Amino acid sequence: MRVAVLISGSGTNLQSLIDTTTDDPSMMAEIVLVISNIPGVEGLNRARRAGVLALEIDHTKFKTREEFENKMLEALDRTQVDVVCLAGFMRVLTKNFVSKWRGRLLNIHPSLLPLFKGLHAQRQALESGVRVAGCTVHFVEEEIDAGAIIVQESVTISVGETEESLIEKIKKVEHTAFPKALKLLATNQVYLDKEIGKAKWLSNP
């Protein structure tokens, strides 16, 4: 399976996807393209160091969301991508993009969904007083952070936990959760039933 990763920043999740797919052929996945909407971010260097095609598609250079997305859609087509992973990609995708890639589009979010959707999920968790937090990898739907869940990993919130320490703690588990979810999809152990918008499991993960 040929995989593109869309990023906007440091790309530590991208790095874990590159490392695991390179080291483990049983993942049945290869990262072939990285796109960042922010020029010059560290994630682009990570891709280039790994010999992966890395494109900057700066959203501020386009008049509309559609034109920006069309540029990405062209690159995905050209590179013959099968699956797209959103790994810290900070743009909301339109219905057009999501419907084209539905079932083949994954996102990682730093909370145990359906709790704490949207921005600053770790801060939301801390403020709510929950004692367990975590991350979720899910199929992307038009509604933000709402698609069928593939993998979740939890962490315990410590006494004196800060937003910064929780961000780091959750990132650690993200780095195993995303490769796990990609492997489940690439090896056909899970797929999205598009009629009902739910995950269908073919074996117990």
Please say which residue, 19 or 187, places its beta carbon nearer to ligand GRF: 19
CA 40 to chain centre: 20
CB of 172 to ligand GRF, least distance (A): 10
Which residue is at the shortest CB distance from ligand GRF? 88
Alpha-carbon span 104 to 188, nearest angstrom = 12
Please say which residue, 19 or 70, places its beta carbon nearer to ligand GRF: 19
| Catalytic annotation present for 109 | yes
Please say which residue, 13 or 21, places its beta carbon nearer to ligand GRF: 13
Burial of 159 (0-12, 13-18, 19+ CB in 10 A): exposed
Provide the H-helix boundaries in the chain. 12-23, 42-49, 65-78, 95-101, 121-128, 163-186
CB of 167 to ligand GRF, least distance (A): 7
* Contact residues for ligand GRF, defined by CB under 6 A: 7, 9-14, 43, 87-88, 108-110, 171, 174
Pairing verdict, β 132-139 and 149-156: antiparallel
Instruction: Choose the catalytic residue: 59, 109, 120, 138.
Output: 109
Q: Which residues are catalytic?
A: 109
